[in-house]
Amino acid sequence: MNTGLIAYRYAKALLLYAIEEGLEDTVYQEMTTVLNSFRQLPQIVQVLGNPVTKSADKLELMLKMCAATPVSKAYDRFVHTLIDNDREQLLLQCSRQYIEQYREYKHIYVVRLTTATASDPATVERITRLLMDYDHSATIEYEKAVDPDIIGGFMVQVGYNRLDGSVRSQLSEIARNLR
Burial degree of 63 (CB within 10 A; 0-12, 13-18, 19+): middle
Q: pLDDT digit string (tens) for 121-170?
A: 888 888 888 878 887 778 888 899 999 999 988 898 988 888 888 888 88
Main-chain dihedrals φ then ψ at residue 75, nearest 5 degrees: -65, -40
Q: Give the residue numbers spanning the domain of 133.
A: 108-178
The answer to pTM > 0.85 is: no
**What pLDDT band is residue 68 in, cutting at 50, 70 and 90?**
low
Average pLDDT over residues 22-51: 94
Q: pLDDT digit string (tens) for 107-116?
A: 898 889 998 8
Tell whether the model's pLDDT for residue 172 goes beyond 80: yes
Same domain (yes/no): 40, 7: yes
| Helix orientation angle between 3-21 and 91-106, rounded to the nearest 10 degrees | 50
Same domain (yes/no): 54, 128: no
Closest CA to 48 of 78, 87, 81, 9: 87
72 DSSP assignment: P
Q: From CA 56, how far away is CA 64, in angstroms rounded?
A: 12
Q: From CA 45, how far away is CA 178, in angstroms rounded?
A: 49
The length of the chain is 179
Same domain (yes/no): 68, 142: no
- CATH number, domain containing residue 23: 1.10.520.20
Same domain (yes/no): 89, 124: no
pLDDT at 36: 93
Q: Which of 84, 104, 124 corresponds to the end of one domain? A: 104
Same domain (yes/no): 125, 91: no
Same domain (yes/no): 98, 29: yes
Q: Which of 80, 104, 128 corresponds to the end of one domain? A: 104
- CATH number, domain containing residue 169: 3.40.30
